[in-house]
């Protein structure tokens, strides 16, 4: 899961209580202060409507990222309305193949 600043209240990384909203143990969460993922997904300069946010997607383990980004196995929005569907979809993945990402 990628957290990024979009709203005026998003001036810092999410607090522990916010991160706890996603309780699935094999879900990695990252803070993207420069919205690099949104930009890779199509955000355009000076176009706030193009910011990719409040969206959840699941990619198969081993998915190769290039330009344009790959199509997810599952995606939906807004996040607050699809939490249970997200949890069900991610549980379908073979967790033995999931390799957690490591921050640099």
H helix intervals, 41-92: 79-91
pLDDT digits (tens, 9 = 90+) for 2-50: 899 999 989 899 998 888 877 776 678 899 999 999 998 899 999 999 9
pTM of the model: 0.69
What are the boundaries of each domain within the chain? 2-97
Please give the backbone phi and psi of residue 18, each rounded to the nearest 5 degrees, phi first. -70, -45
């Amino acid at each position: 899961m990628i957290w990024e600043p979009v709203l005026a209240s998003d001036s810092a990384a999410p607090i522990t209580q916010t991160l706890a909203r996603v309780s699935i143990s094999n879900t990695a969460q990252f803070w993207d202060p420069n919205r690099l993922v949104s930009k890779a997904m199509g955000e355009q300069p000076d176009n706030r409507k193009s910011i990719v946010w409040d969206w959840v997607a699941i990619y198969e383990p081993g998915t190769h990222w290039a330009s344009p980004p790959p199509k997810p196995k599952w995606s939906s929005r807004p996040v607050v309305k699809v939490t249970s569907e997200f949890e069900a979809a991610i549980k379908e993945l073979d967790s033995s193949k999931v390799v957690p990402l490591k921050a640099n």
